[in-house]
Amino acid sequence: MTTKTMTMTMMPKTMIAALAMIALAAAAARAEDYWSAAASDPDAEVARRNYEREMQNADNNALLASSQAINPRDQRRLLLAALRGYENAILARPGAPEPHFRAGLILCDFFVECSASLPTCVPGHAQPQRAADMAMHWTAFERLAPLDPRIDFEFLFDRAIAHTHAAGDNGTHAREHIEAALADYMGATHRVNLTGLNKAQLSGNLAETLMMLGRLDEAIGMYQETLRQGGDASTMYGLAVALDRDEQGAKAREIIRALGASELEQFKDAVRSGHTFFVPEGEVFYYLALAEDALGDVEDAARDWQNYIDKGAHPQFDERARANRDALLRDHKRDHKRASTR
């Protein structure tokens, strides 16, 4: 679990593993005759040929993009060509699930959950539209092939991450994406063979998602459950923010003081690396401000409370942020006045 928090490294698909899956799926798809009726239907025969051509071209482009010798510009061009190929295959055969899966896999591994070594995105900063496209493709895949064994824990977890990123533009569908992420996390809880680490990461992300939806009592309970499963300092930060937003500020600050200043620096490092990300990104300022406030850094805390308000990340918590900012400045002014009269 991480703070605003969707952990990006639970069970990562590597680029090579992803493309190997594509290659195997391609061979299986071309070996199977989806078009037994095409012999007596010229239109169906044309559609079959278009589908197979587009899938072949898309697979080839995806595999070429995996070459370690390829330059970033060509890699991006090939990946986009692969996506266009899968989309064209969908047009040729709207009921086919496979192009949806492969398009979602390309988007997941290269544009949403990418590693720092890839030029196609910055870890923790996926473009909302790319993430929305990934979620759309995998939702279509599940609808068309609900019993496919690839719809596993990792599939649901990764799609939840995509939905969370898709809400990052705070647009008209942001809440729908967060609710979809919650549904995927809930679905993932029913998958078997979860390790203790995965359970903690999953419940931590559930807690954060509940807080994003304003369900603070449930979020606090889920954070506490995460800690029982082995959550880390990031979980404690998330719990502190949830408590503060629930007007339990004293308890929230006690938690942060107990963690100490070194944990704040580690938290900042996790944010910079993209391991911890926030949706919308301005949400990070609430975490920073609360920690700085609790640790006595008045100037930075006041600045970050204001940053949070200005960014409009989650307006339902703006009033609480203003109250925290005003109380901090009022107490600082009072303490300064007392010190000057001694």
In tens, the pLDDT along 68-112 reads 778 889 999 999 999 999 999 999 999 999 999 999 999 999 999
The Cβ of residue 64 has, within 10 Å, a number of other Cβ atoms equal to 17
Q: Is residue 79 part of a domain?
A: yes
Check if the beta carbon of residue 226 is closer than 8 Å to that of residue 207: yes
Say if 95 falls within a structural domain.
yes
The segments of the chain whose pLDDT lies below 70 read 1-41, 116, 192-197, 339, 341-342
Judge whether 29 lies within some domain: yes
Token pair of 80 as six digits:
């986009």
Q: What is the pLDDT of residue 66?
A: 83
Contact in structure between 235 and 204 (CB atoms under 8 Å): yes
CB atoms within 10 A of CB 151: 18
pLDDT at 196: 59
CB of 180 within 8 A of CB of 163? Answer: yes
Residue 252: is it exposed, middle or buried by C-beta count within 10 angstroms (0-12/13-18/19+)? buried
The tally of domains found in the chain comes to 1
Give the dihedral of Cα atoms 145, 146, 149, 155; nearest 10 deg.
100
* 3 state SS of 12: coil
pLDDT score at 43: 78
How does pLDDT run across 289-318, given as a tens digit for each residue? Answer: 999 999 999 999 999 999 999 999 889 999
Separation between Cα atoms, residue 234 and residue 237, nearest integer Å: 5
CATH number at residue 19: 1.25.40
User: Domain for residue 73, yes or no?
Assistant: yes
CB burial string 6-22: b at 16+ within 10 A, e below: bbbebebeebeebbebb
Q: Are 317 and 245 in contact (CB under 8 A)?
A: yes
**Would 88 be classed as within a structural domain?**
yes
Q: What is the pLDDT of residue 8?
A: 35
Whether residue 209 is contained in a domain is answered as no
pTM: 0.85
Whether residue 112 lies inside any domain: the answer is yes
Q: Which tokens sit at 57? A: 């071209």
Structural domain including 22 reads: 15-36+44-202
How many residues are present in the chain? 342
Burial class (CB in 10 A: 0-12, 13-18, 19+), 27: exposed
